[in-house]
Structure 1
Amino acid sequence: MQKIIVLLLAVTISYNTANAQAIDSTFQKDLNEIILQSTRTSRTIKNTPTRVETIDGEELDEKNNMRPANVSMLLHESTGLQVQQTSATSGNPSIRVQGLDGRYTQLLKDGYPNFGNFASGLSIMEIPPLDLKQVEIIKGPASTLYGGGAIAGVVNFISKMPKEKFEGDFILNQSHIGQSNLGGYISEKNKKFGYSILGSVNIQKAYDVDNDEFSEIPKSNNFTIHPGIFYYPNASLTLMLSNSYTKGTNIGGDMHAIKGTPDPTHTYFEKNSTIRNTSTFELDKKFKNNTSIKLKQSLSVFDRHISIPDYNFSGISTNSFTDLSVVFSTQKHTMIGGLNIIFDKFKQENTNTQNTRSFTAGTYFQDTWDISDKVKIESGIRIDNVSYKNINYDKNQTFVLPRVSSLFKITDKISSRIGGGLGYKIPTVFTEQTEAMQYQHVLPLNNVDAEKSIGGTADINYRTNIYEDLSFSLNQLFFYTSINNPLILQSDNFGTYSFSNAAKHTISKGFETNLKFVFKDDLKLFVGYTYTNAKATYLPANQFLPLLPKHKLNLTMMYEKEDNFKLGLEGYFTDHQYLYNGYKTPSFWEFGFMAQKTFSKVSIFINFENFTDQRQSKYKSVANPPHDNPTFDDIWNHTEGFVVNGGIKIKL
């Protein structure tokens, strides 16, 4: 294994922009002015004790070439992150951080948590990247500011804000597997008013690469419109109101059924129809004494219908989020305190079997203490009172969540961040496993407790110039998370499924290594390696978590002449994985290449994704007989294989 890695390091090169930013920006002049929003203290990366990885606008623009419809590609190629496809027919994915199930990672859009529970399986499929300014990733517990669900970490998608100068971005993309994308974003700030508008249309034809008459990619269409207005009465006050509306449909399964020509043998399909509407309001007031007040309010409604032959599951998920915070600073302290109220309700249509409701009231306080130029400590505590109920039971729990992180600037070339804290996740029937089953035969929760966690991360950063034109950066991260009372799905002799709390822990531990070489700012080489040892200690035999590779290697090289052209070559190694049935999968490599040429405000791009055609059906068919009522294997590899896409981008 080591010899293979060494050999491929010599001949295969890639570039992963997300992890390039993970290397401590204390030593990167181009990152010193990036202001983090996820920490809510308006600090730059180099002065923030919490470890935050960022994917900025330039890197987002590159990943937009590969998958303009949604953000799945830019997360898939990040060290320590795994985009896990949960359904062979619908293509729904889930984000896993450091090996843990997707429900333990909180997805945010501009700090608003509107993507959980029933919506989680489709969330990253409905976030277009065109209007994003940056993506911020916190790995490990982030409970002080974000409360429940942030056990494994937080992924915060940050939107662009209007500027004094008009900004316009447009993209047209087409792939050889039948995907068409058209998107546009415009914004401008004019004296006391500003606006932004995002529009996106994505169409995908059903695609059957192995000719087994089942789709590897479902037929789908998706439309998003997201306008926002901004009002600036004076230099110290900003008001924002926006509304995002997304409507989508996808249908996968038997190609005859998808095309509307079923017969007694070709009948199986899975259809997902969704409507998501999210309204947000934000007030930001700054005072002269380094104090500011921010009020955030959102209301999200997610309507989803799942249909397969002789079965339907549908419902409406409603989420209300309110957060009032105050930030105030002294010479050596930046403090934030706030109140947070979250209401979440799921109402199943035609029956009340899975109806659930939760109400969370929380208060939090965090202090960032600049002890000196070389030592900074960030400590915080959050207290949440949560009530949740369904048709079987009603429970109230209070959680006290301390958290601490520190930054040590050891020398001009070496720094370190260490942090840890507690977390929790209230029970839900909406998990990766039940998503793959379309929630069939799943019993309502009955007297189960919230999952609780303790975890932490520690890293060390080093940067130096090897030669005058060659710089080298290293980030070495270690992580550990233990989850108590993990919620597990079990089946009985009657074919029904129910959740219960396991008596022992789920533990995830390991490390990430990120290396970056830059030659004359034009040639960049990135190497990222993730080792994850995650176990379900409650299992008697094979305790490895399913669909989790122990070893992952990311390799990328990018050669770029700014405002002229860029070329990128990438390769990824994925180690063996265990499926839910205990089967051990083969390991595999995948490779990609992209090119872009810029002519003033117009860019033309082409992307060859997975050009060695790595896919699961080369090992075994994903669909199992009988043809009219199939079962599907767990997804551990690509389903669609090689994809070539290209298009045009216009920046105004």
Structure 2
Amino acid sequence: MRIYYVLILLVSSMAFSQNGTIKGKITSNQGVVPSVTVSIQKLDVMIVADENGNYEIKDVPLGTHRVVFNFIGFKTETKTVKVTSPTPMVVNVTLQEDTMALDEVVITGTMKEVRRSESPIPVEIITQKLFKKNPTPSLFEAVGMVNGVQPQLNCNVCNTGDIHINGMEGPYTLILIDGMPIVSALSTVYGLNGIPNSMVERIEVVKGPASSLYGSEAMGGIINVITKNPSKAPELSADTFLTDWGELSVDMGGKFSVGKAHGLIGLNYFTFDSRIDNNNDNFTDMTLQNRISVFNKWSFDRNNNRIASIAGRYVYEDRWGGEMDWTSAARGGDEIYGESIYTKRAELIGMYQLPTEEKIFTQFSYNFHDQNSFYGDVPYMAEQQVAFVQTYWDKPIGENHTLLLGAAMRYTYYDDNTPGTASSDGTSNRPSETPLPGIFIQDEWKVNEKHTLLGGYRFDYDENHGGVHSPRVAYKFSPNNNNTVRASFGSGFRVVNLFTEDHAALSGSRDVIIAEELDPERSYSGNLNYVLKVPTDSFYLGFDVTGFYTYFTNKIVGDFDTNPDAIIYDNLRGHAISQGVSLNVDATFTFPLKIMAGVTWMDVFQIEENEAGDLERLQQIQAPKWSGTLVATYSFPNNYSIDVTGNWYGPMRLPILPNDFRPEYSPWFLIANIQGTKKFDSGLEFYGGVKNLLDFVPDNPIIRPFDPFDRNVDVDNPNGYTFDPNYNYASLQGARAFLGMRYNLF
């Protein structure tokens, strides 16, 4: 009898000690997904599914396990599996495509939704995920994560700046919100500040001319801020962080519904109120700021999923920089130097799809911008209003052609206290009123599965300069899913208002001389892009290389060299060129490491006849020949992760004074950041890290800071230096720690 019990116990023990098996098939809505990484982290087990999407993990201990399925382009799927016997557990998985991954939907290149891989125009994207890897208080800083896009500070006192694409200055970049040219010339400095990050779905960047669709200013590139669809946004979101410099950023958003209307509201608040002068020049290293922005967007349910949306934004900002003892009582005076800017801005944008069988859309926007500012004792008071409306027809023709036909009207009112709006004799003020009607047509011809051809043309009429023609042609060749070649050519134009676009024209340190009546600028650009995808069982590599070339005529250039006390503006008697090559590399591994890196080489210069009739080549100011970006993420167990981000730049030419002791070219430098994040299942996450980890700051950013009003230039000044704050190539903020918290309720 005892032997019987012993045998029962032995058999039972053997049964319970046996391990099990987990197996199944992995699919998506497009069929089987091969080479998916399947892992059980606590067991240190990792396998790769076969070419038919089948996987099998053997020798799994009895108990409950978290099985993770991961593959490029799909959302990571986690299954909780309870293994209770040696009998194989069948766990089939359907992966969902990751809209934040490699093949997002984009609209900017062709003015309609298309998968990124199918777009004949190359489009680069910054998603919400990328925002979080280096948190910033404004989108102005965030776009620097795109290779070849450089947020450039233009003044060491007020810290205003613009965005350079492929070395071309900010006015050549058209900034859109939901496809509308809401950011006008007056606000290129401030347009991306104050857009609540909680409202942003993604940012799309198109490098190269796009005037055939978007008209004036789209000469060098487009930055399109795509806001979230209210019906798909989180119920509540919040993101706030604080730095040890005293910067506080608060970003909040929430959605709500009223019948068939879905609303989304976002709030952004940023404040910095610490007078810091680490370089001991008696000037603030960073402007003191208070900024608040409110954004409200509504979408409406309609029959047949037709589109109807409207959104509004209001921004108020008070910023100043200057001598450490400056107060608002000294504003506009000539005793204590300060640069003080009050900005009020209101925007309204909307889209409505007509209730017809044909796909006809109407878009509209309006913005009001008021700027009350003093640069030392030099006032700049300006008001600008821009109204824009366009209607376009998206019409498929046959199986292979898609026609886009539209008309647009843009009206700009601008007034300020500068010579820019003065009468020819200078005795009266004449605000500028500029209507700019235009028509455009675009045909996208899908020749077959491998070849796509796009042609576009736009005609605009300016009352001062007559008709302007803007053609564009693009071609895409995809022999297979892993190789794509894109080529494009087009032209662009813009009419310049110096006082709204060039901060140097506002600086109290130099006089502004307009040597002649300025003609509109024109550009002719070509791009060649090649995308290579290399998927393997253990890693994925993506290569994206682009060669670009832009030729400018009538380029308006500020001459800083002829007279150190003045800036002389005229049309270039010659031409200017921006050319170069950029390379982006994406690497994702089966272990939890992701790397995105980019490098750009560019040569931006102008060629003009000098007084002797000889051609001279001059390098563009603040356009480094070499630059690059880095984003690396490593994920640890229990939802911990580390992000390392950085931007590096080669030497760039700077505006120097005659006999300047400072070098004409900046040094090589790197701005590196590190961040650690802990996520919780409740939607809460904490993060912290260090910005500008290497503590890099420029030397001697302001010349003669002790005499900002140039009262003593003849005293003990053998080189004749004058006050000049425009020698800038990087922020004066050194290393600083930050700590933040996010919450998302879905």
Give the structure-2-normalised TM-score. 0.77
2:491 maps to 1:385:
no
1:490-569 aligned within 5 A: 490=559, 497-520=567-590, 522-538=592-608, 541=616, 543-560=618-635, 564-569=639-644
**Alpha-carbon distance in 2 for matches of 1:299, 1:646:** 37
Secondary structure of the structure 1 residue equivalent to 2:133: helix
Residue of 83, 99, 105 corresponding to 1:34: 105
What's the CA shift for 1:27? 13
Residues 568 and 435 (structure 1), Cα distance of their counterparts in 2 relative to 1, 3 Å cut: farther
Q: Is the 8 Å Cα contact of residues 194 and 268 (structure 2) preserved in structure 1?
A: no
Q: Who is 2:724 aligned against?
A: 631
What's the CA shift for 1:296? 1.1
2:160 maps to 1:92:
yes
Q: Who is 1:572 aligned against?
A: 647
Residues 215 and 323 (structure 1), Cα distance of their counterparts in 2 relative to 1, 3 Å cut: same
Q: Who is 1:391 aligned against?
A: none
**Alpha-carbon distance in 1 for matches of 2:532, 2:364:** 40
Write out per-residue CA displacement over residues 335-389 of structure 1, whole angstroms, 9 at most, x where no aligned residue.
Answer: 11100111112112598538433221000000111111111111110001012xx
Residues 408 and 81 (structure 1), Cα distance of their counterparts in 2 relative to 1, 3 Å cut: same
Q: Who is 1:7 aligned against?
A: none
Name whichever of 556-565 and 49-58 sits farther off. Answer: 556-565
Q: Residue type matched to 2:395 in 1?
A: F
Q: Who is 1:80 aligned against?
A: 148
Secondary structure of the structure 2 residue equivalent to 1:222: strand
Residues 368 and 375 (structure 1), Cα distance of their counterparts in 2 relative to 1, 3 Å cut: same
2:392 maps to 1:325:
yes
1:409-424 aligned within 5 A: 409-424=478-493
What's the CA shift for 1:324? 0.7
Write out per-residue CA displacement over residues 386-432 of structure 1, whole angstroms, 9 at most, x where no aligned residue.
Answer: 12xxxxxxx23211111011111023321111101111111221333
2:200 maps to 1:132:
yes
Write out per-residue CA displacement over residues 304-323 of structure 1, whole angstroms, 9 at most, x where no aligned residue.
Answer: 01114432111101111111
Residue of 367, 374, 383 corresponding to 1:300: 367
1:234-383 aligned within 5 A: 234-258=303-327, 267-285=336-354, 287-288=356-357, 291-330=358-397, 331-349=399-417, 352-353=421-422, 355-383=431-459
Secondary structure of the structure 1 residue equivalent to 2:193: helix
Gaps of 5+ in 1: 1-19, 21-25, 388-394
What's the CA shift for 1:446? 5.0
Residue of 392, 399, 405 corresponding to 2:474: 405
Q: Is the 8 Å Cα contact of residues 236 and 285 (structure 1) preserved in structure 2?
A: no
What's the CA shift for 1:502? 1.1
2:226 maps to 1:155:
no
Q: Is the 8 Å Cα contact of residues 323 and 338 (structure 1) preserved in structure 2?
A: yes
Secondary structure of the structure 1 residue equivalent to 2:391: strand
**Alpha-carbon distance in 2 for matches of 1:248, 1:603:** 29
Q: Residue type matched to 2:539 in 1?
A: L
Instruction: State the structure with bigger RCO (CA 8 A, min sep 6), 1 or 2.
Output: 1
Q: Residue type matched to 2:216 in 1?
A: G
Q: Is the 8 Å Cα contact of residues 487 and 499 (structure 1) preserved in structure 2?
A: yes
Gaps of 5+ in 2: 1-72, 74-96, 423-428, 611-615, 657-662, 710-722
**Alpha-carbon distance in 1 for matches of 2:131, 2:553:** 36
Q: Is the 8 Å Cα contact of residues 380 and 506 (structure 2) preserved in structure 1?
A: no
Q: Residue type matched to 1:624 in 2?
A: R
Q: Give the root-mean-square deviation of aligned CA atoms.
A: 2.7
Name whichever of 408-417 and 96-105 sits farther off. Answer: 408-417
Name whichever of 197-206 and 52-61 sits farther off. Answer: 52-61
What's the CA shift for 1:527? 2.2
**Alpha-carbon distance in 2 for matches of 1:163, 1:521:** 35
2:238 maps to 1:170:
yes
What's the CA shift for 1:53? 1.0
Q: Residue type matched to 1:235 in 2?
A: N
Q: Is the 8 Å Cα contact of residues 41 and 334 (structure 1) preserved in structure 2?
A: no
Q: Is the 8 Å Cα contact of residues 196 and 295 (structure 2) preserved in structure 1?
A: no
Q: Is the 8 Å Cα contact of residues 334 and 377 (structure 2) preserved in structure 1?
A: no
> Higher Cα Rg: structure 1 or 2?
2
Residue of 642, 646, 652 corresponding to 2:739: 646
Secondary structure of the structure 2 residue equivalent to 1:61: helix
Q: Residue type matched to 1:58 in 2?
A: K
Q: Is the 8 Å Cα contact of residues 196 and 266 (structure 2) preserved in structure 1?
A: no
1:220-231 aligned within 5 A: 220-231=289-300
**Alpha-carbon distance in 1 for matches of 2:509, 2:369:** 17
Q: Residue type matched to 1:586 in 2?
A: P
What's the CA shift for 1:433? 4.9
What's the CA shift for 1:562? 9.5
Write out per-residue CA displacement over residues 65-107 of structure 1, whole angstroms, 9 at most, x where no aligned residue.
Answer: 2x1x211222123211111101111111100111111111101
What's the CA shift for 1:127? 2.9
Residues 432 and 644 (structure 1), Cα distance of their counterparts in 2 relative to 1, 3 Å cut: farther
Residues 518 and 384 (structure 1), Cα distance of their counterparts in 2 relative to 1, 3 Å cut: same
Percent identity, aligned pairs only? Answer: 19
Q: Residue type matched to 1:610 in 2?
A: N
Q: Who is 1:17 aligned against?
A: none
Q: Is the 8 Å Cα contact of residues 99 and 105 (structure 2) preserved in structure 1?
A: no
Name whichever of 118-127 and 266-275 sits farther off. Answer: 118-127
Residues 143 and 413 (structure 1), Cα distance of their counterparts in 2 relative to 1, 3 Å cut: same
What's the CA shift for 1:498? 4.6
**Alpha-carbon distance in 2 for matches of 1:532, 1:328:** 39
Q: Residue type matched to 2:113 in 1?
A: S
**Alpha-carbon distance in 1 for matches of 2:418, 2:100:** 58
Name whichever of 189-198 and 245-254 sits farther off. Answer: 189-198
Q: Residue type matched to 1:609 in 2?
A: K
Name whichever of 448-457 and 351-360 sits farther off. Answer: 351-360
Residues 572 and 181 (structure 1), Cα distance of their counterparts in 2 relative to 1, 3 Å cut: closer
Name whichever of 598-607 and 631-640 sits farther off. Answer: 631-640
Residues 27 and 255 (structure 1), Cα distance of their counterparts in 2 relative to 1, 3 Å cut: closer
Q: Residue type matched to 1:486 in 2?
A: K
Q: Is the 8 Å Cα contact of residues 192 and 234 (structure 1) preserved in structure 2?
A: no
**Alpha-carbon distance in 1 for matches of 2:460, 2:591:** 47
What's the CA shift for 1:45? 0.9
2:472 maps to 1:472:
no
Residues 520 and 28 (structure 1), Cα distance of their counterparts in 2 relative to 1, 3 Å cut: farther
Write out per-residue CA displacement over residues 523-560 of structure 1, whole angstroms, 9 at most, x where no aligned residue.
Answer: 11222110001111126555110111101132332113
**Alpha-carbon distance in 2 for matches of 1:333, 1:370:** 6
Q: Residue type matched to 2:518 in 1?
A: V
Q: Residue type matched to 1:644 in 2?
A: A
Residues 539 and 572 (structure 1), Cα distance of their counterparts in 2 relative to 1, 3 Å cut: farther
Q: Residue type matched to 2:437 in 1?
A: A
Q: Is the 8 Å Cα contact of residues 79 and 512 (structure 1) preserved in structure 2?
A: yes
**Alpha-carbon distance in 2 for matches of 1:294, 1:261:** 51
**Alpha-carbon distance in 2 for matches of 1:561, 1:284:** 46
**Alpha-carbon distance in 1 for matches of 2:607, 2:576:** 6
Give the structure-1-normalised TM-score. 0.88
Residue of 618, 622, 625 corresponding to 2:702: 622
Q: Is the 8 Å Cα contact of residues 365 and 382 (structure 1) preserved in structure 2?
A: yes
Name whichever of 264-273 and 497-506 sits farther off. Answer: 264-273
**Alpha-carbon distance in 1 for matches of 2:173, 2:418:** 31
Q: Who is 2:26 aligned against?
A: none
Residues 444 and 358 (structure 1), Cα distance of their counterparts in 2 relative to 1, 3 Å cut: farther
